[in-house]
Amino acid sequence: MFKIVRKIVLNPSVKLLEVEAPFIAKKAEPGQFIILRVHEDGERIPLTIADFDREKGTITIIFQEVGKTTKLLGGLEQGDEILDFVGPLGVATHLEGYRKAVVIGGGLGTAIAHPQAKKLHGLGTEVHTIAGFRNKDLIILEKEMKEVSSKLFVTTDDGSNGNKGFVTDILRKLIHEGNAYDLVIAIGPLVMMKAVSSLTREAGIKTIVSMNPVMVDGTGMCGGCRVTVGGKIKFACVDGPDFDGHQVDFDEAIRRQSMYKREEQQSENEHVCKLGGG
């Protein structure tokens, strides 16, 4: 069992949990993920490692309550325990050797982008960070991102934070201003990562994206997390989750992402929460 030592509500649907997992914390790196199971009858879901503390032996996960399991997870409190918590899985992001990078997070993807920016900053890279959200009430980790960024730009679709636009608008402006980036990291919705990759392809800037397709076992056996990269089949759980954004078949990934919408909705509708003892 893995004890929750801290819980923070970042916004009405996004929660942060810090979990005791010393063996995972000992080896975790930015870009990797864990697979958890809330209870014995629960499903296995992957969540990216949002942070880790080797001294405390903890792993931080940040998630949005969008389905049955994430709502169960969000109902847990400090002191509660998670049955299974396995990791670190996936290939860590290779971040050494870059002079100037821009890290882009779209919505909840900001939680995954933060450890990337933090590691780059620690390596001495000049980091510019762009974070995009639908509105100001959904903004998360602004303080944390500012601490590891030379420049931080936070934009909203509706302009409710005083800065209206998309992450690609900011990125395009920064490139046109002459910023010589040798790396772009984009993490968020597939359509956002596709748009960023299209822009950086034109500019000739290396781009890494983090893919989060349907995943079951996390060891490459089920094949559910397959993505097409450079015309070849890859598995996000063992080959990724990071891939060259200029090589990913985003259109295929978007089609696959919607395959189980009906079943996911059915599972959520049939779920009855028993955490309250009812």
- Calculate the dihedral angle through the C-alpha atoms of 182, 187, 191, 196, rounding to the nearest 10 degrees: -10
**DSSP per residue, 118-146:** HHHHHTT-EEEEEEEESSGGG---HHHHH
Question: Considering 162, 186, 210, which residue would you say is the last residue of a domain?
Answer: 210
Q: CA 64, 183, 98, 31 torsion: positive or negative?
A: positive
Domain with 66 in it: 2-89
Question: Considering 52, 69, 89, which residue would you say is the last residue of a domain?
Answer: 89
Same structural domain for residues 139 and 112? Answer: yes
Same structural domain for residues 125 and 151? Answer: yes
Q: Which residues contact 45 (CB under 8 A, 6 or more apart)?
A: 35, 36, 37, 69, 70, 215
Query: Strand 58-64 to strand 14-20: parallel, antiparallel, or no bridges (unpaired)?
Result: antiparallel
Query: Strand 100-106 to strand 183-187: parallel, antiparallel, or no bridges (unpaired)?
Result: parallel
pLDDT digits (tens, 9 = 90+) for 239-275: 999 999 999 999 999 988 776 666 555 555 555 555 4
Query: Quick one: residue 178, left, alpha or beta (phi over 0 = left, psi -120 to 50 = alpha)?
Result: left
Tokens of 247: 């090589």
Report pLDDT for 278: 44
Interval 166-171 mean pLDDT: 95
CA distance 130 to 127: 10
Strand, coil or helix: 94 = coil
CA distance 203 to 206: 9
- Tell me the residue type at 247: Q
**CB 223, CB 142: distance < 8 Å:** no
Number of domains in the chain: 2
pLDDT digits (tens, 9 = 90+) for 109-122: 999 999 999 999 99
- The domain that contains 114 carries what CATH number? 3.40.50.80
pLDDT digits (tens, 9 = 90+) for 43-101: 888 999 999 999 999 999 999 988 888 999 999 999 999 999 999 999 999 999 999 99
Question: Considering 89, 111, 126, which residue would you say is the last residue of a domain?
Answer: 89
Same structural domain for residues 202 and 136? Answer: yes
Residue 105 domain-assigned (yes or no): yes
